[in-house]
Structure 1
């Protein structure tokens, strides 16, 4: 090998070594802390739901109502934190209705724990208030951080008009001898859940700007629809799905809080 070749080889090695080090440095990908926390909370929540369902099914140490009451208290705390840290009035409104939803859910399961039947007027009214709060919270949060398009306005107005028209039609079709108010409240219990799913999942803007929140709220609402149709919490599947629905709303509250905290840090930077 000549001196010229040796010098050229040495020079190319010196140049390629920093390039390799730079390429190796660029290949490192750091996972955001929130992603780790969110994933850990999801795994812990699903594991806890499975464990609580297994213990309830095989030992009967506690009732489903007691488990739901604990979840409701946790959600009240979570939405209260979002309410206190929110920067947008839409976010604060959504957090307020989320807090009302958790409080009404607490009240509904407390009534059930103390022997109030599912067909009791007080229980129906509590369920109507709970699902109405979920619909109002979905409306506020689905508007808060979304770039609204024409379809958003059309769908939201259609939802409002269709809901009012359906309630008016239900009032005219109340069976003879039935309490008209309770009959309408029973319809509210079901249709507020359907409209909550429509507000989230039928709007491309929600999937584009906040897909995680859209998926969590829609999934939780669908689970509540399934539970409302079965009207019983005596099976293993329904007990587990109830806890998953609560977990989805808890994760949604955590996601909203993370976004508000990020905005707070940007403002005070």
Structure 2
């Protein structure tokens, strides 16, 4: 049979239609994009309403208590009695956070916060039931909770926060900075002012200032933990203001400590809510 050239029609009939499939196989596969992680919503409508109600009730009660103490109502005095009751609520918040958290840093912070609560309860109980205390003892029970609270802040500010170079240097140098500040105040103060009470007062003020700095001078805390950063920093700022002698007097000296306790309590509510929401989505 003689050779012949196939016509275009015969080529279309006998040639397998594989060209499109081969081209498809030659094309690189499109990488499958990873699905974004589901965002954990902490500020649910129910939590926002509860948060607002707690703030309104606490502030209203604090205002009434301040006015009652100004009017010399006997069942409200001294002021340490009110702070003792409010510290019980804050201490309960630390215990609740300890049992609901799974993160190591958060548990360490809760343990330190519980120690702060015990020292604060002892401080306010002594002031309430023992009216005449030694000044050195009062200075000690005022300073010790501030130092323990600084360790609490260091642990809580690391929780779910990206640790950058500035954060590492800041937390590592924190004890050294505090020691240098106290030593500077000691050596540059007059000799008659270097009493034990003054030294402990300087240590307490320094610890409160560093507590504010550990939250407010770190951008990573503002980005990842905005609410605790504002509330814990504000609580330490108020504590610093009314710890300075003769700076705040009158009804403000009664009302501002209660606002500081409210900031502690609301910050703990936010941390507990965050842990519960994260556990629900994991």
For 2:197 and 2:244, locate their aligned partners in 1 and report how far apart those are by CA, in whole Å. Answer: 18
- Which consecutive residues of structure 1, in runs of 5 or more, have no partner in the other structure? 1-29
Change (3 A) 1:105 1:31: closer
- 2:76 is matched with 62
Q: CA deviation at 1:250?
A: 0.3
Normalised TM-score (structure 2): 0.77
Change (3 A) 1:67 1:59: same
Change (3 A) 1:223 1:178: closer
- Which consecutive residues of structure 2, in runs of 5 or more, have no partner in the other structure? 1-42
**Which of 162, 174, 177 lines up with 1:162 in the alignment?**
177
For 2:84 and 2:101, locate their aligned partners in 1 and report how far apart those are by CA, in whole Å. Answer: 25
Larger Rg: 2
**Which of 215, 218, 242 lines up with 1:203 in the alignment?**
218
| CA RMSD in angstroms, aligned pairs only | 2.3
Change (3 A) 1:157 1:80: same
Normalised TM-score (structure 1): 0.80
For 1:237 and 1:174, locate their aligned partners in 2 and report how far apart those are by CA, in whole Å. Answer: 30
**Which of 227, 232, 236 lines up with 1:212 in the alignment?**
227
Residues 1:152 and 2:175 aligned together: no
Give the structure with the higher percent helix: 1
Q: CA deviation at 1:179?
A: 7.0
SS of equivalent to 1:230: coil
Contact 1:171 1:180 in 2 (8 A): no
Q: CA deviation at 1:155?
A: 2.0
For 1:146 and 1:98, locate their aligned partners in 2 and report how far apart those are by CA, in whole Å. Answer: 19
For 2:44 and 2:222, locate their aligned partners in 1 and report how far apart those are by CA, in whole Å. Answer: 23
Q: CA deviation at 1:67?
A: 0.2
In the comparison of the two structures, how many residue pairs are matched? 237
For 2:81 and 2:142, locate their aligned partners in 1 and report how far apart those are by CA, in whole Å. Answer: 17
Give per-residue Cα distances to partners, 1:37-95, cap 9 Å, x unaligned.
Answer: 11111111111111221222224231111101101111111111111111111111111
